[in-house]
Amino acid sequence: MKYIVCLFMLITILKTVFGDCDHQIVESERHKLTNQLFNCGYDSTIIPVKDHKTAVNVSFNMIVKFIKYDHQSGTLGLDSWLSIHWYDEYLKWNPQDFGNLREIKVTTDNIWVPDLSVYNRFDQGTEPTVFASTKCIVNFNGLIVCVHPHHVDALCQADMSKYPFDSQNCTITFGSWVHKGEEVNILHHNPIADTEDLETDGEWALKKVGVHRNPGHYDFHPNSTYPSIEVSFEIKRMHGSHSATVLIPSIVIFMLVITSMWVPPDSNERMVLCCVNLITEFFHLEYISFMIPMKGNKIPQLMVLGRDSLLLCGFSIVFTIILKNIVLKKTPPPSWISRIVSFVIGCRPGQIIFLDDTTLKGVAFAKGEDDGSTIIDNSENSVNTGSQDWRVFAKILDRLIFISYVIVFTVMMVGFIP
């Protein structure tokens, strides 16, 4: 009997310490509201409208945080906070019935969320919808507000025709993945993007953000619509470093080519300089092709500039060889060449430009005059003037080629630099 009494007392003590509470937890207004909303047949897989002929309007905008563009892969990387709003007709209540409670926080796992998707994302093998598990605010009138951090890599074909002064216009297309516009109507807020807290990758600057709503009328389904929101981002390259490594070397090569054309054509230094220019331009063109992706039908203007410069470097070698052969000719030139030479050096500017010796004696020698009783001595009258005509004629051609090169390079650079 004594043992039974002890056992009874032990059970009583354990029940007092570890047993059920002698009072029930007071259910808060938030508990009551949550139970009423979600434990009375709410289905998160059904569009939250009581009339199935009515569409739920889903509107959104974004707070852009970071933008990065990769011209090699042709993708625009965008990190943003998507702010999405819609009304759920099954999540309404009277605040006065629940202690003036006007809003609650819930997770997207417990409510219906729109299947908002990015149609032109780079990785088509991943989950199409932009929503992951996040918290949303449910207001007493059924308004649901979700702010969801989102990253997307969208396809954006690069237009490198004006590199390094290029701009890219990339579009990200949002829409419902499975629902028609008569079920889920996609809209957007204005402005569509808030860029106040934007950070860039240091290479691109955001210039403009635009938005266009495509109503989604298609011939294959004339009785339904599939609306989408097209958000466009215009970005411009910050070309400082690219100009220093790509454009400035091109200008230096142009100057070297022009300088080489001023060197006398019969000198070995000119041929060496022309060959060095050709090799330098070839490697520079290869470097440009490495920097710029070989995609699309549009050839970058910088590559056209390098290509034409390479051709001009090659022509400069050909011109140098031809002019050197002309200078070394000893045979008498045709009469038309002699007339051209006489006409050019007959004026003072021609003498200054094309003659090394602009004295009266040198001019007389170049013109082949033999009245040397007062100007030229008898020994000089016997000099063959044919080679001098060839030399002057070669110099005339050389200066014309030099002027042509200056004009061509100037036009090329003016047409390229914005």
What pLDDT does residue 13 have? 54
Q: Dihedrals φ, ψ of 225, to 5°? A: -125, 155
Query: Mean pLDDT over residues 51-80, rounded?
Result: 92
Q: Tell me the pLDDT band of 376, cut-offs 50, 70 and 90.
A: very low
Across the chain, mean pLDDT equals 82
The distance from CA 267 to its chain's CA centroid, rounded to whole angstroms, is 47
The rounded percent of the chain whose pLDDT value lies above 70 is 83
**136-188, pLDDT tens digit by residue?**
999 999 999 999 899 999 999 888 888 888 899 999 999 999 888 899 999 99
What pLDDT does residue 223 have? 80
Query: Mean pLDDT over residues 14-20, rounded?
Result: 49
More confident residue, 348 or 105: 105
Q: Dihedrals φ, ψ of 15, to 5°? A: -65, -35
Q: Tell me the pLDDT band of 112, cut-offs 50, 70 and 90.
A: very high
**307-339, pLDDT tens digit by residue?**
888 999 999 999 999 998 888 887 887 888 778
What pLDDT does residue 359 have? 43
**116-142, pLDDT tens digit by residue?**
999 999 888 777 778 778 899 999 999
What pLDDT does residue 8 have? 54
What pLDDT does residue 366 have? 47
What pLDDT does residue 159 have? 86
Q: Parse the chain into domains and list their residue ranges.
A: 30-238, 242-416
Q: Tell me: pLDDT of 357 over 80.
A: no
Q: How far apart are CA 102 and CA 229, in angstroms?
A: 31
**Contact (Cβ atoms closer than 8 angstroms) between residue 226 and residue 218:** yes
Fold type of domain 30-238: Acetylcholine Binding Protein; Chain: A, (2.70.170)
What pLDDT does residue 86 have? 95
What pLDDT does residue 228 have? 92
Query: Mean pLDDT over residues 392-417, rounded?
Result: 86
Q: Tell me: pLDDT of 199 over 70.
A: yes
Burial of 269-307, coded b for 16+ CB within 10 Å and e otherwise, reads ebbebbeebbebbeebbeebeebbbeeeeeebbbbebbe
What pLDDT does residue 240 have? 78
What pLDDT does residue 17 have? 46
Q: Tell me the pLDDT band of 233, cut-offs 50, 70 and 90.
A: very high
Residues contacting 126, CB < 8 A, separation 6+: none
Q: Tell me the pLDDT band of 217, cut-offs 50, 70 and 90.
A: confident
What pLDDT does residue 7 have? 56
Half-sphere exposure of 334 (CA within 13 A, CB side): 4
What pLDDT does residue 3 have? 53
What pLDDT does residue 222 have? 78
Q: What is the pTM of this model?
A: 0.74
Query: Mean pLDDT over residues 36-63, rounded?
Result: 89
What pLDDT does residue 19 have? 46
Q: How far apart are CA 385 and CA 342, in angstroms?
A: 12
- Give the least confident one: 14-28, 78-92, 225-239, 324-338: 14-28
More confident residue, 112 or 395: 112
Q: Tell me the pLDDT band of 9, cut-offs 50, 70 and 90.
A: low
Q: How far apart are CA 316 and CA 326, in angstroms?
A: 15
